[in-house]
Structure 1
């Protein structure tokens, strides 16, 4: 039986209103947290508390969004937009207080122009469809400290991809399709402490890729098809000199365990060296070293070193202070990375 249009409108009017977003004080950050997770929203609710400091909008249907929607929230510091099927984000509205923006597990094929976010320190664009970055893509967010780009489809990067990020401490490029990296990629990253390159298609790194005199805390190089010939001399030498900061990750649902394991960075080719640790493999290569190195004698790969593996634990994408000494365990809800059930958006 066909329901008259007027009757249908009347029935809709009698339906209960949408579930309001829950609000409570976040005791860690001392900010009002508004939770709108999983409500099949297609737009940002217009009646949010004006003193909202943390806004959780993950697992909704916000396929296209403008930051203008957040202008009334003058105290907003943290927005979570993970798992929305987001294909377009329009920025430009000046959000002076925003520090953390999570865009992970969406459908972005290009990085949004990051205008109007001068205070941004944490940006997660993990598990989208990014294929590359524009030169100077982050110049407008010079205060960025943590940048998560893992799990995208990037095959190459311009040498100025991270230009201007002089405050960046952690950069995650893991689980992409990167085949090569430009020598100058890290030049501007004067405070970089943690670099994730694991799970790519890298066969070698250019000489002087790691800036001289730069101190790292964690570098992840495993799960790449390293081609172990004389072109890998630079990387092998660097691993030997920095063996105590070369780590292997073991990602879990809520945390990532990491192990000091330079011997887990393995050759993939040629066949005779497959599965051999780069730090130990042997090749006779006559290589003239730089004048500030040990001279121009013939170098025989395979000066064996013995490292003691240790296990530590830290959250998926932390900001790791320089005085950090012990394990950290932080729930993954600040950097969503696990699949969740998304309400139907049809």
Structure 2
């Protein structure tokens, strides 16, 4: 083999090595996605209709925004116990089976803004014990199971604005419950603006002692005696 041909072969091998990004777990970057660093997978604007099957087990950040996803399955994120950031915004997702995210013990941020989810069931977020920020704004959510946030003791921010909520259960944002007597939530920032709420339960905010910001604008409030407590609460909480 001549020096020139050896050089060409070496260049091709190097180019192939760059193009085929291999993760620590041994899997290559999923087809139709980009992996600029070994722990990140970027799949935006790829017209995907399902979650890629070959997601590396050591991935820490996944961006699947702006695709054509309509549903998730129970095994889409199996084994991804190092994942910290999952972005599924701007799709058409309307179905989240129970325990879909159960393997994501390290997940801190889940962004599902601008989808078509209608219900948050009891086990929708099961297993997300490290979750701190949940973005479910601008969906079609009309029902939230009052136990949906049980166990999510790291949760600090919940975005639910731009949905179709008409009422909330007093326990809706409870994340820690002991014998159904002691109930509390560690949420600090709660966004409920631009829904269809006419009132909210007084107990709901009493279960959130750490609440710093509560966004309620853009709702058709019924400002009668049943809501007087909210005015009193606002005066009592000038720092909120």
Q: Normalising TM by the smaller chain, what interval?
A: 0.7 to 0.9
Deviation by residue 1:175-230 (Cα, 9 ceiling, x = unmatched):
11111111111122121111101111113363444xxxxxxxxxxxxxxxxxxxxx
What's the counterpart of residue 22 of structure 1?
Answer: 34
Change (3 A) 1:133 1:124: same
Change (3 A) 1:240 1:89: closer
From 151, 155, 158, the equivalent of 1:140 is: 151
Indicate the SS of the match to 1:186: helix
Partners of 1:90 and 1:120 in 2: how far apart? 18
Alpha-carbon RMSD: 2.3
> CA contact under 8 A between 1:91 and 1:116: conserved in structure 2?
no
From 144, 151, 154, the equivalent of 2:162 is: 151
Task: Structure 1: give runs of 5+ residues left out of the alignment.
Answer: 1-17, 26-30, 210-234, 247-346
Partners of 1:239 and 1:125 in 2: how far apart? 26
From 106, 111, 114, the equivalent of 1:105 is: 114
From 90, 110, 118, the equivalent of 1:83 is: 90
> CA contact under 8 A between 2:32 and 2:46: conserved in structure 1?
no
Indicate the SS of the match to 2:185: coil
Deviation by residue 1:48-79 (Cα, 9 ceiling, x = unmatched):
33321110001112211125221232311111
What's the counterpart of residue 78 of structure 2?
Answer: 71
The structure having more radius of gyration, on CA atoms, is 1
Partners of 1:155 and 1:168 in 2: how far apart? 21
Greater fraction of residues in strand: 1
Deviation, structure 1 residue 151: 0.1
Partners of 1:107 and 1:20 in 2: how far apart? 24
What's the counterpart of residue 192 of structure 1?
Answer: 211
Count, aligned residues: 197
Change (3 A) 1:127 1:58: same
> CA contact under 8 A between 2:44 and 2:63: conserved in structure 1?
yes
From 148, 152, 171, the equivalent of 1:160 is: 171
Task: Structure 2: give runs of 5+ residues left out of the alignment.
Answer: 1-29, 176-183
Partners of 2:70 and 2:227 in 1: how far apart? 39
TM-score, normalised via structure 2 length = 0.74
> CA contact under 8 A between 2:80 and 2:103: conserved in structure 1?
no
> CA contact under 8 A between 2:150 and 2:174: conserved in structure 1?
yes
